[in-house]
Amino acid sequence: MYPSKYSFDPGSAPDCQNDFLILGLNRTGTTGGQANLVAFNNLYSGTSPTPLCGMANPTVLFAYNISTVAGRISHLTGALT
């Protein structure tokens, strides 16, 4: 599974709110349960030395169940890169 990162411009400063990462999980999704497409922002978080986003962890931007077939999501996220 490979992530896709959006709002990426190597020439600009990191943006905690607008830069985000989307991942397809190799899991069978279930309605109201396991998500298999998730996105995170506040990517530049951490604990040491000083996180750019001022947070310990990235934030879940969204999480959806978009397929009930494990492995199908990997084809989708590869196309979004």
Torsions phi, psi for 68 (to 5 deg): -100, 15
Please tell me the predicted confidence (pLDDT) of residue 48: 76
Mean pLDDT of 16-34: 81
pLDDT in tens, 36-67: 888 998 888 888 787 888 888 999 999 888 86
Statement: residue 34 has pLDDT above 70: yes
State yes or no: pLDDT of 16 exceeds 70.
yes
Number of domains within the chain = 1
Domain with 43, as residue range(s), is 4-80
Give the integer Cα–Cα distance in Å for 56 and 44: 9
Given this model, what pLDDT does residue 69 score? 65
